[in-house]
Structure 1
């Protein structure tokens, strides 16, 4: 039995799921940039030419992330490779955990629906599972704080999906407020490309991507470290917490790392630059199942 527990997205991480690294080609990247124009950056598009990752390097970078999790005491489960799905790097999008329940996302993307089949062997092992029955919502939009749950209204998540999540919370006995977060423009793939929790009451944010009201909702609960346009576009905001005071971040995010140290949070820098040529970062690449309560 896998006992689900996610009281906060920065609680010490004990158990998580990762996807398999699979080689993919230029068409997969083009399709990714069409689906996620907000993340189409010079990291994988140069002179209007798609730069396919060096798969030897990318595989090593993904392996390094997994090994870092294991070395930090995290029990890691790897999803099986599905023959009809080209990319399974980002399991965060197909499910997410809140408190004692894992919720199966409801994606508008047919590829993501296929990808979710890789979770089927685990469903009987999870202590509590709920399926979103209407609308659309993906895990990259769901941020679990100590009290409320932020949900981004991105290209992947809509109001009907948020309403369905509220109904699932009621059925699961989860007494939490869901706070929708709106963006200032179209094209944002997920909330966790614009805001993540990087410590107790501390977050990375790209403020211009959010409406002023939504930013104020976050700022009322967190001290915020501002990411500039380049840092946000390069997915430096997309981090994953090993513990309240240890955060995996992009090794190129030196300014943001210094800001963490100033708040007594240890950055754990890793190079993910080849992997993120198909848009996705460290938070996307991990699906936490069990975290400790933040003291």
Structure 2
């Protein structure tokens, strides 16, 4: 039995799902875009371009990231490879854990809905799984703090999806407030490309991507470390916490790393740059199942 536990996105990471690294081609991207044109527009908006990684470099980077997780005591589970899905790099958007419940995402992207089938072998062993009744919502938009749950109203998540999540919380007995976060323009695929928690009451943010009101809401709850345009485009905001005082961060993000050190947090830098050519970072690449102080 896998006992789901996620009290906060920075609680010590105990168990996580990652995707299999698969070699894909430009044609795999083009074919998916021809079948699902809306998917193509979102992907291009996400980082202005979509590129095929040099797999001889990207694969060792991904494998090195998995080893890093294991070396820090994290149990890593890898999704099975699906024959009809070319890319399974970023499992964060397939589901998300809040407290003791795993919620299955509802993607607008047909390819991601097919990809979600890779979770099926685990579902019977997971302590509690909830499906949502309607709307669209993906895990990259969901950030669990000590009290509220932030949900980005991005290209992947809508108000109906947030309403369905509130209903899911009611069924599960989760009393947390859901705080929607709005963006200043179109093209933001997920909240965690513009804001992430990197410590207790501490976050990285790209303020220009958020409405002034949503930015002010975050400023009430967090000390905010501003990412510049280059850092945001390079997905350097997209980090993953191993513990409240240990954050995995892009090796290029020297300035952001130093900001963590000054606040007593250890930045664990890793080169993920070739993987990220198909836009996604460390948070995208992980689906946490268990966080908390003690092993279950």
TM-score class, shorter:
over 0.9
Provide Cα deviations, 1:168-220, integer angstroms capped at 9, x if missing partner.
00000101000000000001000000000001110000001000110111111
What does 1:32-181 align with in structure 2 at a 5 Å threshold?
34-41=41-48, 45=49, 51-181=51-181
**2-structure distance, mates of 1:211, 1:262:** 28
Matched residues in 2 for 1:293 and 1:203: separation?
21
SS state at 1:70 partner: helix
- Post-superposition offset of 1:133: 1.8
Q: Partners of 1:23 and 1:33 in 2: how far apart?
A: 19
**SS class of match (2:221):** coil
Query: Is residue 155–residue 190 contact of structure 1 (8 Å, CA) maintained in 2?
Result: yes
Q: What CA distance in whole angstroms lies between the structure 2 residues aligned with 1:133 and 1:147?
A: 24
User: TM-score when scaled to structure 1?
Assistant: 0.95
Aligned 8 A contact 2:204 2:224 in 1: yes
Q: Give 1:34 deviation, angstroms.
A: 3.0
Q: CA deviation at 1:35?
A: 2.4
TM-fit CA distance, 1:278: 0.7
Alignment-derived partner of residue 224 in structure 2: 224
The separation in 1 between residues aligned to 2:267 and 2:132, in whole angstroms, is: 34
CA distance in 1, matches of 2:51, 2:165: 38
Change over 3 Å in CA distance of 1:29–1:230 after alignment to 2: farther
Q: Is the 8 A contact 1:96 1:102 kept in 2?
A: yes
How far did 1:40 drift? 2.5
Question: Which ranges in structure 2 are unaligned for 5 or more consecutive residues?
Answer: 34-38
More displaced stretch, 69-78 vs 30-39: 30-39
Secondary structure of residue in 2 paired with 1:220: helix
- Could you tell me how far 1:135 is from its partner in structure 2? 0.2
Q: State the SS of the aligned residue for 2:64.
A: helix
Partner of 1:243: 243
Query: How far is the alpha carbon of 1:25 from its aligned partner?
Result: 1.2
Alpha-carbon distance between aligned partners in 2 of 1:269 and 1:109, rounded to the nearest angstrom: 31
Aligned to 1:285: 285
Q: Give the whole-Å Cα distance in 1 for the aligned partners of 2:227 and 2:251.
A: 15
- Matching residue of 1:263: 263
Q: Deviations over 1:133-185 (max 9, x none)?
A: 20000000000000000000000000000000000000001010000000000
* 285-294 or 2-11: bigger deviation: 285-294
1:13-72 CA distances to partner (integer Å, 9 max, x unpaired)? 00000000001112345547632233324xxx5xxxx65311011000000110010000
Helix, strand or coil: the match of 1:5? coil
**Does 1:202 find its partner at 2:209?**
no
How many pairs were matched up?
287
RMSD over aligned CA atoms reads 1.4
Give the TM-score normalised by structure 2.
0.94
Alpha-carbon separation, structure 2, partners of 1:290 and 1:170: 21
Structure 1 runs (4+) deviating above 2 angstroms are: 27-41
